[in-house]
Structure 1
Amino acid sequence: MPAITRDQEDSESSSEDEHDDLPCIAWSGASKTIPILLFIPEAIVSKDDRICSIGDRYKMAFKIVRTESRLVRGLLTNHGFHEVHPNSNDFNLMWTGSHLKPYILRGLQDFQKVNHFPR
């Protein structure tokens, strides 16, 4: 899964245009190149393609392991993320209900995020 990157052309546009164009992404950092994905609760009932297709647009994936979280699954799915098999390493976000082994955390790529860390 690729990380979200920003084109040079995009970096020249104003922040107001970005907010109107992509309501689910905020850009941070000194040069506004670090993306922050914003999850909008209304996506569960919304049919707004700008919200519902953000995961599709950037080919984002998630996996849920050792827990059943229908709310998280529904929110991610409604933002356009697709779910991968729990054994797959091709994901951007891992949602887990228990502590992970250190070797799993060390094996994550820079663009992969996990909700749960030991202690």
Structure 2
Amino acid sequence: MNTVRKADLLQKRRWRIRKKVGGTAARPRLSVRFTSKHVYAQAINDDAGTTLVFLSSLDAELRQKKLQANLASAKTLGLAFAAKAKAAGINSVVFDRSGAPYHGKVKVFADAAREGGLAF
């Protein structure tokens, strides 16, 4: 498949999901993005347009662990994100998978965040 067409289809999936999933101050949107090398997660208040909590595999304390975009790192990052969100006072989130299918790394991240105490 043409890479431009593939990126276009991914963006359309993201928009389709965003129409249904929105975050508020009480229940922000947990957006997870896996690239080929890194993982990015953020809790977003869509009403105000602000990011409440951000975590990635490039953070200083996580960078020493040499995390990659794989299953083991997804579990570690899910637990770390849950701890950071709980410290910021976030207990409940709406999950946004950013157009990725809900299996593999995305599912492991979500399960680890649930284990860490976040309610979806």
TM-score, L = length of structure 1: 0.26
Structure showing greater relative contact order (alpha-carbon pairs closer than 8 Å, 6 or more residues apart): 2
**Could you say which structure has the higher helix fraction?**
2
Larger radius of gyration: 1
